[in-house]
Amino acid sequence: RELLRGELAGDEVLVVSNREPYIHQQTANGIEVARPASGLVTAVEAVMRACSGTWIAHGSGNADREVVDKHDRVPVPPECPEYTLRRVWLSKEEEQGYYYGFANEGLWPLCHIAHVRPVFRSSDWEQYVKVNRRFADAVIAEARTDDPVILVQDYHFALLPRMVREALPRATVITFWHIPWPNPESFGICPWREEILAGMLGSTIIGFHTPFHRKNFLETVDRYLETRIESEASTISYGGKLTQVEPYPISIAWPGTTEVSSESQSECRANIRKALALPADHLLGIGVDRLDYTKGIIERFQAVERMLELNPSMVGRFTFVQIAAPTRSSLDEYQSFEARVRALALRINQRFSNGNYMPILLKAEHHDQYQLNRYYRAADVCMVTSLHDGMNLVAKEFIAARSDEKGVLLLSQFTGAARELHEALIVNPYHIEQSADALYRAITMPEAEQRERMRSMRTLVKDFNVYRWAGHMLLDAARLRKRERVMQRI
Ligand code: G6P
């Protein structure tokens, strides 16, 4: 944290993201402040608290106009303000086309290989261009200096870097792409692929979670744009502008002090079981996701079913709690996914239920970080079975919560996290038999082996925490800023 502050001393920092870190909701009890379920927000918030500045985001609260206007520019966190949240309010039509349409029916399935077909509509694209322009204008208006550091987050703003660069040529624009980047063939089906790539190349630095996504990006640019690429140096020269492309694996804050329960590990274990009406020695699995088709929730339930089928002694002894925060629920694909998840949980529960016993407890509602930490600490195994995932911070949050060095992480090989957390039980989530075996291995793993694995994963997450993630990017940015200033003097 301190290092990060030092790195940015004297520089103006602006963040742009779609999701806002605090949502002001009008309720019967007045205004209440909610936190969204988003790995991106969790990570960037930790950075913003360390370096202050202004965070520009889409205002998503349901507060009425009068209240909303008052919350255009608010100091946050509400309890002890450390930076400014500047909201951009969108019309229904803009939100529909830019966020639900182009970003989440187009780019999201395009970049995640989860075999859901992307939908590209010209009308959505028009809104995407328009909203990128609106956010770019907000950035330009907020900037107090002509060379701020601008951290652009994710696939909602592929066009914004170039728009900002045109108005603020001396700015350092760092774009971080939080989701995977597919191979050139997959990306090439996007009707506006050239515009997206050219927009992103307005950035000084483009970051991905893994070297693999970076390689895919370089190959995609090489395929579709006239550029000069230096693969060794990982730079792209386009229209007289140089962009550095690097992997920066995202992480979590360490220690995550504020949201840790005051209960001891063993109290958490006992209290959660009591609350779920389970015996004290019951084996517990946990899954925490947004209800998204990329997360492999169906495959996870199938693995639980297969494990119980293969190991009848676990029927009545093992329960899997799936916490699934509703997300993007106005889209058909998400509605039908939720229906399939619910139907599968019901079928498996009917098959194995006995008295009060149900193998799957599906909690399809938002839980805050405090509640999640209690579940993480109570669980014997955490299952992260994404079909494709940029990083997956649930895996790292689970590890951070286990100061007792117990519990097993079962992790999909298709997450960015699997490239770092080698001591997890790594599975191919499409291979149900393999995941079922890994699940059984996890819940019967000797304590000494759990400790050995957990200890080394904890060391890694502690060392490569979110401040390192941001620190690496900002250090690279500082180096490039210096170089540019020297060049300007020559
Ligand atoms: C992913 C994306 C983020 C997004 C989050 C939640 O992590 O990379 O940009 O904020 O999902 O999705 P939502 O659409 O609710 O913001």
Complex ipTM > 0.90? yes
And the tokens for 447?
């304590």
Nearest protein Cα to ligand 1, atom 11: 38
Atom of ligand 1 at shortest distance to CA of 17? 9
The pTM score is: 0.95
**Where does residue 416 rank: exposed (0-12), middle (13-18), buried (19+ CB within 10 A)?**
buried
pLDDT of residue 40: 82
Nearest protein Cα to ligand 1, atom 15: 327
pLDDT of residue 10: 75
Q: How far is the CA of 208 from the centre of ligand 1 (A)?
A: 15
**Residue 402 in contact with ligand 1 by CB distance below 6 A:** no
pLDDT of residue 29: 85
**Residue 338 in contact with ligand 1 by CB distance below 6 A:** no
pLDDT of residue 261: 66
Q: How far is the CA of 487 from the centre of ligand 1 (A)?
A: 38
Query: Which contacts (CB < 8 Å, 24+ apart) does range 121-125 have?
Result: 121/97, 123/97, 124/96, 124/97, 124/98, 125/97, 125/191, 125/192
Calculate the CA dihedral of residues 158, 160, 163, 165 and round it to 10 degrees.
Answer: -100
**Residue 454 in contact with ligand 1 by CB distance below 6 A:** no
pLDDT of residue 120: 98
Atom of ligand 1 at shortest distance to CA of 39? 7
Q: How far is the CA of 378 from the centre of ligand 1 (A)?
A: 27
Ligand 1 pocket test: which of 18, 19, 393 has the largest number of ligand atoms within 8 Å of its C-beta?
A: 19
Q: How far is the CA of 110 from the centre of ligand 1 (A)?
A: 15
**Residue 327 in contact with ligand 1 by CB distance below 6 A:** yes
**Residue 13 in contact with ligand 1 by CB distance below 6 A:** no
pLDDT of residue 64: 55
Q: How far is the CA of 339 from the centre of ligand 1 (A)?
A: 21
Atom of ligand 1 at shortest distance to CA of 156? 9
**Residue 40 in contact with ligand 1 by CB distance below 6 A:** yes
What residues have CB less than 8 Å from 76, skipping those under 6 apart? 21, 22, 55, 82, 83, 84, 85
Nearest protein Cα to ligand 1, atom 8: 178
Q: How far is the CA of 40 from the centre of ligand 1 (A)?
A: 7
**Residue 178 in contact with ligand 1 by CB distance below 6 A:** yes
**Residue 107 in contact with ligand 1 by CB distance below 6 A:** no
pLDDT of residue 47: 81
Ligand 1 pocket test: which of 45, 99, 178 has the largest number of ligand atoms within 8 Å of its C-beta?
A: 178
Query: Which contacts (CB < 8 Å, 24+ apart) does range 95-98 have?
Result: 95/58, 96/124, 96/127, 97/121, 97/123, 97/124, 97/125, 97/126, 97/127, 97/128, 97/131, 98/124, 98/127, 98/128, 98/130, 98/131, 98/132, 98/156
C-alpha to C-alpha distances, 365 to 210, 321, 324, nearest whole angstrom? 31, 12, 6
Q: How far is the CA of 38 from the centre of ligand 1 (A)?
A: 5
Per-residue pLDDT of the chain (490 residues; tens, 9 = 90+): 776 677 667 789 999 999 999 998 888 888 888 888 777 888 888 888 888 899 999 998 776 555 656 668 889 998 899 999 999 999 999 999 999 999 999 999 999 999 999 999 999 999 999 999 999 999 999 999 999 999 999 999 999 999 999 999 999 999 999 999 999 999 999 999 999 999 999 999 999 999 999 999 999 999 999 999 999 999 999 999 999 999 999 999 887 654 566 788 899 999 999 999 999 999 999 999 999 999 999 999 999 999 999 999 999 999 999 999 999 999 999 999 999 999 999 999 999 999 999 999 999 999 999 999 999 999 999 999 999 999 999 999 999 999 999 999 999 999 999 999 999 999 999 999 999 999 999 999 999 999 999 999 999 999 999 989 988 998 899 889 888 778 777 6
